[in-house]
Structures are given as C-alpha cells and as structure tokens.
Structure 1
C-alpha cells in the first residue's frame, strides 16, 4: 500500500508522517517513508540526522543507476522504519516532481518497493504545480493533514481537487483528514458537512507534539522515557489501524474557491457575532474599531 501525505506548509505533515510510520511498524508492517521536499528533513525525527538525498547520490554517480546500492540511499530509523529523502533542485530551479519520479525509478531499479507493506510519501506543502501532485501518481491513498483554521482547510480543498483529477486515471482515493494540534474542530466539521470527507483522527492541542520535532524524536521514542505521553501515541495507532484495513476512501468533489471562502468566513463571522453578543455595546464598538 502506498500513501501520500499532504497539507498546508507548516501544518505538521512530517511530524505526523513519522509517527504514523512508527505506528504502522508497531503493527508489524514493514514501512518505507519517502521525504518529498527539497529541505530533505521529513525523516529527521526517525533517524536523528539529515540523511543523504536520492538526487545527491544520483549526481555523485553521474546518474548511473547500476552503481547505486540500497544502502546508499535507504537508512533505517527508529522502530525499524526505513527512510529515503528524495531531495530536490536548488531553490528557484528545476521541478520537485521530476525528483520524485527519479526517486521512484531508482527504488524500482533496486526492487525496494517490493519489500515493504507500506510506502509513505511525505509531500511538501503550499505548492500547486503538476510536480507537487507527482506522488499521487504512485499512491493508493492520499491523507490530508489540516487544523481548524481557514488557510489549512483552503489548502486541503485544493489538494482534494488534485486527488479528484488524478483519480480519473489512477486507482487513487482520499483516505481522509487528520486534524493536527486542534483545540476545536468546528470549521473542520463545517467543511466536511459540505465536502464529505472521512476524518481519520483529530489530535488535541498538545504542546509535546510540536516539541517532539525540536527534539528530533517521534512521540513513541519520547514516551519510552516519559510514559505519561504514551496516550498521544494512541492517536497515531488509531490512524494506523484504519489504514491497515484498506479504507474505502472517497473521490472528493472540492468546493470552488469563492464558495469555500464564503462558507468558512460566513460561519466564522456568525460564530464571532454569537460570542460577542454577551459584550456590552461600548466593548463591541471598540472591537469593531480595532
């Protein structure tokens, strides 16, 4: 099974991806995580360092695929999760989608794809070119990481459009949304009421999730030392269990940009109005001025 994890830049895709990969490994699945970002830091919390990239390795061998061995590009991280970083062209030059294609080509040459139960592509955010959607060419499922904010849901809607487009010619489904570090979920619920998409999990606003990235460790590894955090791992294990069952998924029908803007902004303004109804007129006027 191949998964492609998408979402707005900075939403926590890599942190989420690494913890899902570990959770799948804990469920006795052989997992390969492929970082698809020129920053090549997707697998940092699994390996503890920035591993060499596919594109750098290919360049060092003058693109002679026959001179590359699995151990040159595949590194084993925490819980036995294998890791690959595609890398990418220099900033402002080249196409990240081409690099993803070269990565898949090399891994197929090495027969690596046949050795894993789950292959997870962790894809960079906030890009809408064709190269951005390249991992969807190889995936069985897309998973979108979001929060309860307008920008993240707007990005999720654009990603849904990419899934719908790719599903015309590929066996691809959207497995669902993951709400990451979300204190509330009212905007998420408003969105899925209008654009029916499964919700795999909503993780509460837990500071340890953000801190784990800084520490360069997954929540599973941290919880080995601090058992009080083991409850956070249960969220990721729940996601893993749903993935393992090969969910039906959906081919989403995204909202038009203006329709979505109106839907979410009207809902938010109504909520603010209801909340401010308890404020006296002078306070309400001061809020308007601000």
Structure 2
C-alpha cells in the first residue's frame, strides 16, 4: 500500500507522518517513509538527524544511478521504520518537484517498492503540480492533514481537486482528513458537510505534539519514558488501523474556490458575531484575512 500525505505548509504533516509510520510498524507492517521536500527534514523525528538525501548520494556517485544501492539511500529509523529523503536543489536553482520524480524512479529501479507493506510519501506543503504531484501517480490513498482553520481547509480543497484529477487515470482515492492539533472542529465539519470527505481522526491541541518535533522524537518514543502520553499514541494507532483495512475512500468533488471562501468566511463571521457585537465591515474583512 502506498500513501501520499499532503496539507498546508506548516500544518504538521511530517510530525503526523512519522507517528503514523511508527503506528503502522507497531501493527507489524514494514514501512518506508519518503520525505518529498527540499528541506529534507520529514524523517527527522524518526532518525534524530537530517539523513543524506537522494541528491547528496547522486552527487557522490557522479549521478551514476547504476552505482547506487538501497543501503546508500535508505536509513533505519525509530520503531523499524525505514527512511528516505529526496532532497532538492539549492533555493532558486532548480525544480524540487523533478527531484521527487527522480527519487521515485530510483527506488523503483532498486526494487525498493517491493520490499515494504506500506510506503508513505510526506509531500511538500500544498504544492500539487509537476514532480510534487508524482506521489499521487503511485499512491493508493491520499491523506490530507488540516486544522480547524480557513487557510488549511482552503489548501485541503485544492489538494482534493488534484486527487480528483489523478483518479481519472489512476486507482487513487482520498482516504480522509486528519485534523492536527485543533481544539475545535466546527469549520472542518462545515467543510465536509459541503464536500463529503471521511475524517480519520482529530488530534487534540496538545503541546507535546509540537514539542516532539523540536526534540526529534516521535510521540511513541517520548511515551516510553512518559506513560501519560500513551493516550496520544492511540490517536495514531487508530489512524493506522483504518488505513490497514484498505478503506473505500472517496473521489472528492471539491468546492469551487469562491464558493468555499464564501461558505467558510460566512460561517466564521456568523460565529464571531455571536461573540462580538457591532463589528464594522472593515473589521469583518480583517477577521477573514486573519
């Protein structure tokens, strides 16, 4: 099974991806996580350091693909999860999306895809063009990480549109949304009421989730010495259990941008109007922009 994890930049995709990978490994699945971001930090909480990237390795081999072996690019991480980072060119010097495509090509040539029960692509932000959409060509499921905010749901809607387009020619489905570190879910519920998408899990607003990223450890590793965090791991195990069942998923029918903007902004403003009286039109605009 192949998963492609997308979502708004900074929403917590990598932290979520690493914990899902460990949860799948805890369910006796052999997992490979592939970081698809030039920052090459997707697998940081699994390995505790920034592993050499595909680009780094190709440079040392003078770009002779035939001289690269799986052990040159695949690193072992926490919980038995194997890790790969695609990397990318220096800022402003090339196409990071192209590197993602080449990473997939190299791993297929190494027959790495045949060695794992689950391959998880952790993909850069909400960019779904060119090479950054390449994981959707190979994935069985897309998973979108969001929160209860306007911008994250707007990004989720654009990603849904990409899934719909890819599903025309590939056996790709959207497994669902994961709400990350959110105290409420009213905007999420409003969105899925208009654009039916399964919700796999809503992770509560827990500071340890953010701190785990800074520590370079998954929640599972931190919980080994702090039993009070075991309940957080259960959220990720629940996601893993749903994925393992090979859910039906959906081919989403995204909402048009202007319609979605109106839907969410009107809902948000109506909510704020219950809290704030006599708000000017200019102030309401500021609320939407914020």
Q: What displacement does 1:59 show? A: 2.1
- Report the counterpart of residue 7 of structure 2 in structure 1: 7
Q: Is the 8 A contact 1:145 1:178 kept in 2?
A: yes
Q: Is the 8 A contact 1:96 1:131 kept in 2?
A: yes
Q: Is the 8 A contact 1:181 1:205 kept in 2?
A: yes
- Report the counterpart of residue 167 of structure 1 in structure 2: 167
Q: What displacement does 1:56 show? A: 1.4
Separation in 2, partners of 1:288, 1:107: 52
Separation in 2, partners of 1:252, 1:90: 35
- 1:98-247 alignment, distance < 5 Å: 98-247=98-247
Separation in 1, partners of 2:7, 2:176: 12
Separation in 1, partners of 2:197, 2:19: 22
Q: What displacement does 1:128 show? A: 4.2
Q: What displacement does 1:97 show? A: 2.3
Separation in 1, partners of 2:130, 2:190: 29
Separation in 2, partners of 1:273, 1:144: 30
Q: Is the 8 A contact 1:203 1:235 kept in 2?
A: yes
Q: Provide the TM-score with structure 2 as the length reference.
A: 0.95
Separation in 2, partners of 1:85, 1:261: 35
The number of equivalent residue pairs is: 284
- Report the counterpart of residue 273 of structure 1 in structure 2: 273
- Report the counterpart of residue 87 of structure 1 in structure 2: 87
| Cα pair distance change 1:53/1:288, threshold 3 Å | closer
Q: What displacement does 1:198 show? A: 0.2
Q: Is the 8 A contact 1:4 1:121 kept in 2?
A: yes
For residues 169-201 of structure 1, what are the alpha-carbon distances to aligned partners after superposition, in whole Å with 9 as ceiling and x for unaligned?
Answer: 111000000000000000000000000000000
Q: Is the 8 A contact 1:65 1:109 kept in 2?
A: no
Q: Secondary structure, in 3 states, of the residue corresponding to 2:250?
A: coil
- Report the counterpart of residue 37 of structure 1 in structure 2: 37
Q: Secondary structure, in 3 states, of the residue corresponding to 1:175?
A: strand
Separation in 2, partners of 1:67, 1:276: 65
Q: What displacement does 1:160 show? A: 0.4
Q: What displacement does 1:62 show? A: 1.9
Separation in 1, partners of 2:92, 2:258: 30
Q: Is the 8 A contact 2:6 2:126 kept in 1?
A: no
Q: What displacement does 1:288 show? A: 5.4
Q: Is the 8 A contact 1:6 1:144 kept in 2?
A: yes
| Cα pair distance change 1:111/1:131, threshold 3 Å | closer
Instruction: Give the unaligned 5+ runs of structure 1.
Output: none
For residues 99-142 of structure 1, what are the alpha-carbon distances to aligned partners after superposition, in whole Å with 9 as ceiling and x for unaligned?
Answer: 11211111122111111000000001042432221111111100
Root-mean-square deviation over aligned CA pairs: 1.5
Separation in 2, partners of 1:288, 1:203: 31
Instruction: Give the unaligned 5+ runs of structure 2.
Output: none
Q: What displacement does 1:93 show? A: 2.7
Q: What displacement does 1:164 show? A: 0.5
